[in-house]
Structure 1
Amino acid sequence: MKHENQTKRKAVVLLSGGLDSATTLAIARDQGFQCYALSIDYGQRHYAELNAAQKVAQSLGSHAHQTIKVDLTLFGGSALTDQSIEVPILEESPNIPVTYVPARNTIMLSLALAWAETLDCQDIFVGVNAIDYSGYPDCRAEYIQAFENMANLATKAGIEGRRLTIHAPLILLSKKEIIHMGLALGVDYGLTVSCYQADKTGRACGGCDSCRIRKRGFKAANITDPTAYKTN
């Protein structure tokens, strides 16, 4: 008789260490997948999220957790990869913000795709959201569908009929709904870090776009926010 883990379908789950990716990992686990968590060290100024990812992966029982280094500071072009660009604080804008990292999700999904193929895995989970989000173009449903189409055209697995699926289970959920779902699945949001410029201990700034969206989500969910903030 096979061990239980050998009978489960495998899934690669992109895990940043933030609220959404932690919830996505919990969803994949709840759906019965053997989860291979993948974090990307791309030179982000909020490095604390990678420490958080390790804790989340362990807390939610990932079968494996890998961190890949890709230095996007060589290109810059974003407040998250260029120290000369300040992270906006308490600023709302209808435009795509300077915290957008060019091609970030394409790079991350490509790396997840490469690992999935080596694992003979047909499922990739990503925690993008197009409701309570910052307006990034690579968080939209049409982008995820386009990447899935590309993946099935450009891989050995896809050509041989082992169709790859990109799961984005949070894409049409509000932050309130995401938080309620995660809590029901056992996510400890106190382990997660969402802030764009959290300090080394993981304390959040409280004023960046990601912090504001997170705060509003917990308030709407009527759940005490477990985040450690530098200021209130």
Structure 2
Amino acid sequence: MQSNKALVVFSGGQDSTTCLFWAKANFEEVSAIAFDYGQRHKIELEAARHISQNAGVPLHVFKMDLLSQLTANALTSSGIEVEKEKPDERPPNTLVEGRNMLFLTYAAIFAKEHQINNLVTGVGEADFSGYPDCRNDFIVSLNQTLNLSMEFDYKIYTPLMWKNKTQIWQLADELGVFEIVRNQTVTCYNGIKGAGCGECPACGLRNKGLENYLAQKQ
């Protein structure tokens, strides 16, 4: 039996925050789940707690620091600098291997325990950064795998799958949370809230999308 409850995989960033408020607009009861996976910048979790509390959404945070021991990347290893440009021959060094698969799997386990059928995640492939676990094919496959593995009728929602950053800003505005996303989220790979450092690839995508959206509104 399908419930009208949703669980949002939440990081405190632009995309997942937009999805949090999208879920609030589309489901009667919303909760969020976040993971402490050894990320270098704990400000991400602080932002997640602050935003969810102000939104009236219960947030459940779980430690998953084994992930940072299994794979080396610029988001969990302080000795690896974030690449300013995406290499053509491989994914960027900010890829945390298996992260979305693990996040969604653990979220699904939690969701079944609380009889929540609907999972919401902010992954997308319109502004594709070379992360294989952001692709629609992966989400469709994992959705089927989760249903089979736990005999539970999950539905994974990806509201941003085909939206570029300009369109994501537009959605945040339509949801009435433009200023929250602009000022309170942490998308920057260097852990700076809001507009961020302005130099890392995440800031480049976010700020270019914002610039385009503001230009469209004029």
Q: Do the two structures share a fold, i.e. TM-score over 0.5?
A: yes
Taking only the aligned residue pairs, the percentage that are identical comes to: 36
Shift of 1:203: 7.5
What residue is the counterpart of 2:64 in the other structure?
A: 70
Shift of 1:92: 3.6
Cα distance in 1 between the residues matched to 2:41 and 2:201: 13
Shift of 1:184: 1.6
> Is the CA contact 1:49–1:202 (under 8 Å) kept in the aligned structure 2?
no
CA deviations 1:159-202 (Å, max 9, x no partner) are xxxx2101111000111111111122122111101011215x77
Within 5 A, what are the aligned runs for 1:12-91?
Answer: 12-62=7-57, 64-71=58-65, 72-89=67-84, 91=85
Shift of 1:156: 3.6
SS at match of 1:222: helix
SS at match of 1:37: strand
Q: Which amino acid aligns with 1:87?
A: V
Shift of 1:68: 0.7
Task: Note the residue ranges of structure 1 that are not aligned, 5 or more in a row.
Answer: 1-7, 158-162, 224-232
Cα distance in 2 between the residues matched to 1:169 and 1:80: 25
SS at match of 1:170: coil
> Is the CA contact 1:15–1:25 (under 8 Å) kept in the aligned structure 2?
yes
- Change in CA separation of 1:129 and 1:51 when aligned onto 2, cut-off 3 Å: same
1:216 to 2:208 alignment? yes
Q: 1:165 aligns with which of 145, 151, 155?
A: 155
1:185 to 2:175 alignment? yes
1:145 to 2:123 alignment? no
Q: How many residues align?
A: 208
CA deviations 1:111-141 (Å, max 9, x no partner) are 1101110111110000001012412000000
What residue is the counterpart of 2:166 in the other structure?
A: 176
1:113 to 2:108 alignment? yes
Cα distance in 2 between the residues matched to 1:207 and 1:167: 31
What residue is the counterpart of 1:198 in the other structure?
A: 191
Shift of 1:53: 0.6
SS at match of 2:33: strand
Indicate the RMSD between aligned Cα atoms, in angstroms: 1.6
> Is the CA contact 2:13–2:185 (under 8 Å) kept in the aligned structure 1?
yes
Q: Which amino acid aligns with 1:109?
A: L
TM-score of the pair, normalised by structure 2: 0.90
Question: Counting helix residues as a fraction of each chain, which structure ranks higher?
Answer: 2
Cα distance in 2 between the residues matched to 1:36 and 1:96: 32
> Is the CA contact 1:12–1:116 (under 8 Å) kept in the aligned structure 2?
yes
CA deviations 1:22-49 (Å, max 9, x no partner) are 0111111101331111111101112211
TM-score of the pair, normalised by structure 1: 0.85
Cα distance in 2 between the residues matched to 1:181 and 1:61: 20
